[in-house]
Structure 1
Amino acid sequence: MSVNVAATRSIDVVIVDDEKFVRGALRTYLSQAPDVAVVAEGANGAEAVSLAHEHQPDVMLIDIQMPVMDGIAAIRRIVAELPDIRILVVTGHISDVYLKAALIAGASGYVVKDAEPERIVAAVRQVNAGDCPIDPAVTHLLVADVRNSLPGKSQRPDMELSDREEEVLRLLCEGLSNTEIASALFLSESTVKYHLVRLGRKFQARDRLQLVITALRTGVIV
């Protein structure tokens, strides 16, 4: 049975990087995917904010260190003004500091520029679907860093979590993937995803990493 690709809505993408060569490479990678359409490109953070408002894409690929306005500031502006846009950081900086700053600003994923083309395309699809393309081991380091850096936790929000939701959330905060959570709790992956969706709604979190940060920041998970 053939699939009518034209009938499938494409993932509209904007690429923002101050290096023209990098923008060209990313555009080439993404243009080979039948479900992805690059609708615009920019060279700095200010252009990223402008293009976000002009095109309102599904996903934006944004570098961190750029002129005029850096990527972190641009991400913060875009997420605040257009929260439905998902941000994938594509950068050459493999740093816990940059990673944490990008995710707290509102990015939904973090990959390096020299990743395989298939990996970058897959990351765009994952971010668009609400997932976070970051290695679980890196997530674990991030969680530890966020825990240690918080000046203090606010009062625990007045919400009820089931025992199962607390178990899933705790394992998520330990850096486990959906597959690992399912194995640890003897659940199916679909059931884990169901609980994560419910938790995301309760915490008003855009994605799993924002859910982790919010759970730690509010003291629900200590």
Structure 2
Amino acid sequence: MNANEAATETISVIIVDDEKFVRGALRTYLSQAWDISVVAEGENGADAVRLAHEVHPDVILIDIQMPVMDGIAAIRQIVVELPEIRILVVTGHISDIYLKAALIAGASGYVVKDAEPERIVTAVREVHAGDCPIDPAVTHVLVDDIRKTLPESRKPAAIELSDREADVLKLLCDGQSNSEIASALYLSESTVKYHLVRLGRKFSARDRLQLVIIALRTGVVK
């Protein structure tokens, strides 16, 4: 650990999943990160609510379908009672119904259980930093659902974009991650993040998910 790492605040995390094996796997993934500490585990939504009040973690990793209280109900309650806690859904369900329900309830991000361990670790960091990480596989589901509800002919909003910004935005709406966008456009990830920040300001989007939704609904990306 270098001096910068030592000076960085550790991200406290609670893992909530009704499968012991999954909890163990997630704990293993996160324990390898120098800046993340798993402080508690639960097996249902009621545990999530109780532990949130007892431990006050920075981030809660939570599944959706669980006994006693499901993840959606738990997210809804935690967001109201402890809005400072960020919630990352880690689930095997990637349907648009579950995705939209989780985001409406107040989830800060959504990744699938079979994502690469590094992706889950990165998602925890992004959620803690105020970003809204959405797994590319899930983004495709959401984007397809949005496109189905849009009229065939849309007049693009009058938002001026550079060619590079347009390329980045198109790939983002295709469900590409920052690293995939960087690779496709031969850019560094820091440059991709710079363009996303500028795009967020131009579209008045609070996060990358809202940016995708606005870009599609305004016809800037089809």
Scaled by the length of structure 2, what TM-score is found? 0.70
1:211 aligns with 2:187: no
Structural mapping, 1:82-93, within 5 Å: 82-93=82-93
Give how far 1:10 is off: 1.0
Q: Which residue does the alignment assign to 1:110?
A: 111
> Contact (CA 8 Å) 1:111, 1:133: kept in 2 or not?
no
Structural mapping, 1:28-177, within 5 Å: 28-79=28-79, 82-105=82-105, 106-112=107-113, 114-115=114-115, 117-129=117-129, 130=131, 132=133, 134-135=135-136, 138-149=138-149, 161-164=159-162, 167=166, 168-177=168-177
Give how far 1:188 is off: 5.3
Give the distance between the partners of 1:29 and 1:125, measured in 2 at CA: 13
> Contact (CA 8 Å) 1:178, 1:193: kept in 2 or not?
yes
CA RMSD, Structure 1 to Structure 2 (Å): 3.8
Answer with 29-38 or 183-192: which moved more: 183-192
Deviations 1:36-67 (A, max 9, x none): 11122223223323433444433211011012
Give how far 1:187 is off: 6.1
Give the distance between the partners of 2:37 and 2:65, measured in 1 at CA: 25
> Contact (CA 8 Å) 2:110, 2:138: kept in 1 or not?
no
Give how far 1:144 is off: 1.3
Give how far 1:17 is off: 1.6
1:26 aligns with 2:16: no
> Contact (CA 8 Å) 1:108, 1:209: kept in 2 or not?
no
Deviations 1:50-99 (A, max 9, x none): 43344443321101101232112323444455555332222233544434
Aligned length: 212
Scaled by the length of structure 1, what TM-score is found? 0.70
One-letter identity of the residue aligned with 2:110: G
5+ long unaligned stretches in structure 1: none
1:3 aligns with 2:28: no
Give the distance between the partners of 2:183 and 2:27, measured in 1 at CA: 38
Give the distance between the partners of 1:52 and 1:58, measured in 2 at CA: 9
> Contact (CA 8 Å) 2:108, 2:132: kept in 1 or not?
no
Distance 1:218 1:163, change over 3 A: closer
Deviations 1:147-184 (A, max 9, x none): 32579xxxx99xx8442397244542233433555577
Q: Which residue does the alignment assign to 1:195?
A: 195
Distance 1:33 1:161, change over 3 A: same
Share of identical aligned residues, percent?
Answer: 71
5+ long unaligned stretches in structure 2: none
> Contact (CA 8 Å) 2:111, 2:120: kept in 1 or not?
no
> Contact (CA 8 Å) 2:86, 2:108: kept in 1 or not?
yes
One-letter identity of the residue aligned with 1:163: L
Distance 1:187 1:23, change over 3 A: closer
Answer with 60-69 or 18-27: which moved more: 18-27
Answer with 56-65 or 12-21: which moved more: 12-21
